[in-house]
Structure 1
Amino acid sequence: MPHRADEASLDRLGAVVVFYNPDSSCIDRANRLARWCRCVVVDNTPAREESERIRASLDPSIVYLPNYANVGIATALNQGIERLIADSFEFAMLFDQDSESTLDLIGGLANVMRACIARRERVALVGPAYEDARLRGLAPFVRFGYFKLQRVMPAGDVPLDVDFLISSGSCVNLACWREIGPMDDALFIDFVDTEWCIRAKSRGFRVLGVPWISMTHELGEEPVRAFGRNYPMHSPVRHYYLFRNAVALLKRGYVPCTWKSTELIKLPVRLVIYACFVPDGRTHVKMSLRGLWHGLIGRLGPLA
């Protein structure tokens, strides 16, 4: 049931924010977050001198972990989470550098998680609905269905069982981290959150969407309009990872056939969209096909 956050709800809750060439707004968001809870910033910015400038701009209370290289979102999240576990935190809020956090968001999700644990429920992750104005408002939660995702509108005052949540804005129950295992470093960036949620559910844990809590989050770059709807858009390199990792997950036994059937339909549709509706579509298609091939032959990790 909904209830407001207070200081007690933030007890033993930390946050992990992943940076990659952040602007001043990203740094400001991390500094605001540090007012409410322990904040660990893991920085994938490659330039060492830029990392030192970022360090000097952050609140002194922030734990700053520079990698001086882009090691990927999975590895960065793992590093931040391991730091919170080492410091005996119970929950970890995960954020992209461009996601807006609020006290009601982090405290509200922690309260939901605590209530689930008090009822002895095996819950790995809780997360808010997210709103991207460019994609027409509040996005539905998702459950996997054969050949089509089942979209669940965020309504009501009861947490909803879902099949995955985007990592940014979600709250991880660190008590189950060792049993589920870390994010998959080899995936590097795309489908990292999807794979972890699938793995958590395959091991008997629940993933819950919290319909009365929402977060502003921009998914990708400027969307493209195709076939009467808006589609999130990314760079050609991101589309390489998207195709490669989708194929990699199609080969894994614990990934449900419902998800696989949907992706087998979506992959060719994406290629058509890139070829026909995206500027420089040839590059997007080329990188996507390269990712598909690397997925088939099992070449994972960062793109060389």
Structure 2
Amino acid sequence: MDLSILIVNYNTCQLTVDCLRSVFDSETDFNYEVIVIDNNSSDDSVETIGAEFPQVKLIANKNNTGFAKANNQGMEAAEGRYVLLLNSDTVIPKDTLHIMITFMDEQPKAGASGCKIILPDGSLDKACKRGFPTPSASFYYAFGFSKLFPDNPRFNQYQLGHLDPDQAYPVDCLVGAFMLVRREVLETVGGLDETFFMYGEDIDWCYRIKQAGWDIHYYPKTTVVHYKGGSARRRPYKIIYEFHRAMIVFHRKHYRKHYNVLTNSLIYMGVGLKFVMALLKSRLVRPKSVIDPKETCVEVGM
């Protein structure tokens, strides 16, 4: 088996079906398997996916284990020499799998790679190529310096906005929406850290992959569409909490020992302030009264 594709589903039935259709439309000479891990969805995801895609290995959890643990379950069942983390709210072109596996075969030092990811409006999903969120990189990003000085490398350490998104180059980290990882990496680094529920686990994984001596590459010779936030929009407060908790977890794990008590305290206070501001903002934004039809199979008669 050349490739194991892991897709975590949580109440995104139609998005996942669309993603799977794009996967099985792929044109490649490589052998691949698809493993879907359902995190106790309350919609008809398990029944629909099982009926339309009998070739899929379907793991149906009895509770929502989170993104990291669910992917680790998939990795345990995976047989491929590469593992691809693929979000349920993505659609891939027919040649994506072939292009990315060929690239990895030609780059034996590459532990992981990702392609160019765009949003439905055609804009770049900036998370697809990033630097590590060091305190300075996070500060410049959080307070808007990267937008004020888009061509300055110093102020664009996190999202790397000064680098051409149509050129290939090594990066610090990719996004878990599309992340191709070599089997040897799993054997030496291990899987995702389950301390992270649904944010930060991809950055942490990339950090450990680079620490182990592997390269990480951004390779924009193929483009994936990311509808982004399909399952997240259903529980906004939980999402906001997990997003900010992930910042604290990552800093404590990798950076805390490099800074004094005062600096660490200021960082935690900054994250706390952003958390409060995000909560207040979410209360001011009126929620959608109509469910997006792309998120339910019932809407299309399935």
TM-score normalised by structure 1 residue count: 0.71
Q: Which whole-Å deviations, capped at 9, do the CAs of 1:256-293 have from their partners, x for residues lacking one? A: 969x9997696356346425643358xxxxxxxxxxxx
Q: 2:118 touches 2:224 (CA, 8 Å); kept in 1?
A: yes
Q: CA deviation at 1:165?
A: 0.7
Please identify, of 124-133 and 28-37, the stretch whose mean Cα deviation from structure 2 is larger: 28-37
Superposition map of 1:89-104 within 5 A: 89-104=80-95
**Cα pair 1:92 1:172 within 8 Å, conserved:** yes
1:84-132 deviation per Cα after TM superposition (whole angstroms, max 9, x unaligned): 1xx3x11122111111122222211111111101xxx2x2210012112
2:56 is the alignment partner of 1:62: yes
Q: Do the aligned partners of residues 98 and 253 (structure 1) sit closer, same or farther apart at CA in structure 2, a change above 3 Å counting?
A: closer
> Which residue of 1 is the match for residue 124 of structure 2?
138
State the match for 2:72 in structure 1: 78
Distance of aligned partners of 1:274 and 1:14 in 2 relative to their CA distance in 1, 3 Å threshold:
same
- Could you tell me which runs of 5 or more consecutive residues in structure 2 were left unpaired when the two chains were aligned: 27-31, 141-155, 286-302
Residues 276 and 29 (structure 1), Cα distance of their counterparts in 2 relative to 1, 3 Å cut: closer
Could you say which residue in structure 2 is the equivalent of 1:111? 102
* Greater share of strand: 1
1:120-152 C-alpha deviation (Å, 9 max, x unpaired): x2x221001211246x71244222463434214
One-letter amino acid of the structure 1 residue matched with residue 243 of structure 2: L
What whole-Å deviation, never above 9, does each CA across 1:49-87 have from its counterpart, x for those lacking one? 946523433312111111122111101111112211xx3
Residue equivalent to 1:15: 5
C-alpha deviations, 1:138-176, integer Å up to 9, x for none?
Answer: 24422246343421434455x311111111122111122
- Which amino acid in 1 is paired with 2:17? I
| Identical pairs, percent | 20
1:38 maps to 33
Q: Does structure 1 residue 127 correspond to structure 2 residue 126? A: no
Supply the distance in 2 between the matched residues of 1:233 and 1:42 (Cα, whole angstroms).
19
Alignment of 1:153-164 (within 5 A): 153-155=163-165, 157=167, 159-164=168-173
Aligned residues: 252
Alignment correspondent of 2:143:
none
Equivalence for 1:172? 181
SS in 2 for 1:215: strand
RMSD of the alignment, in Å? 3.4
Residue 160 of structure 1 aligns to which amino acid in structure 2?
Answer: Y
1:44 positional shift? 0.8
SS at match of 1:252: helix
1:202-281 → structure 2 map (5 Å cutoff): 202-220=211-229, 235-253=236-254, 267=271, 270-271=274-275, 273-274=277-278, 277-280=281-284
Task: Render the CA deviation track for 1:211-261: whole Å, top value 9, x for unaligned.
Answer: 33221113337xxxxxxxxxx998110111112221122111468969x99
Q: Measure the CA separation in 2 of the matches of 1:124 and 1:196.
A: 11
In 2, Cα distance between the equivalents of 1:127 and 1:261?
34
CA distance in 1, matches of 2:97, 2:68: 21
Higher relative contact order (CA 8 A, sep 6+): 2
Q: Distance in 2 between matches of 1:164 and 1:76?
A: 20
Cα 1:263–1:115 shift into 2, 3 Å = farther
Q: Distance in 1 between matches of 2:234 and 2:76?
A: 31
Unaligned runs of 5+ in 1: 1-10, 222-231, 282-304
Name the CA shift for 1:77/1:18 in 2 (closer, same or farther; >3 Å): same
With over 3 angstroms needed to count, the CA separation of the structure-2 counterparts of 1:99 and 1:188, relative to structure 1, is same
The one-letter amino acid paired with 2:19 is R
Q: What is the match of residue 19 of structure 2?
A: 29
In structure 2, relative to structure 1, the CA distance for the partners of 1:263 and 1:202 (3 Å cut) is farther
Q: Deviations along 1:165-208, whole A, 9 cap, x unmatched?
A: 11112211112212111101121211111111111112211111
TM-score scaled by length of structure 2: 0.71
Measured in 2, the distance between the counterparts of 1:113 and 1:42 equals: 25
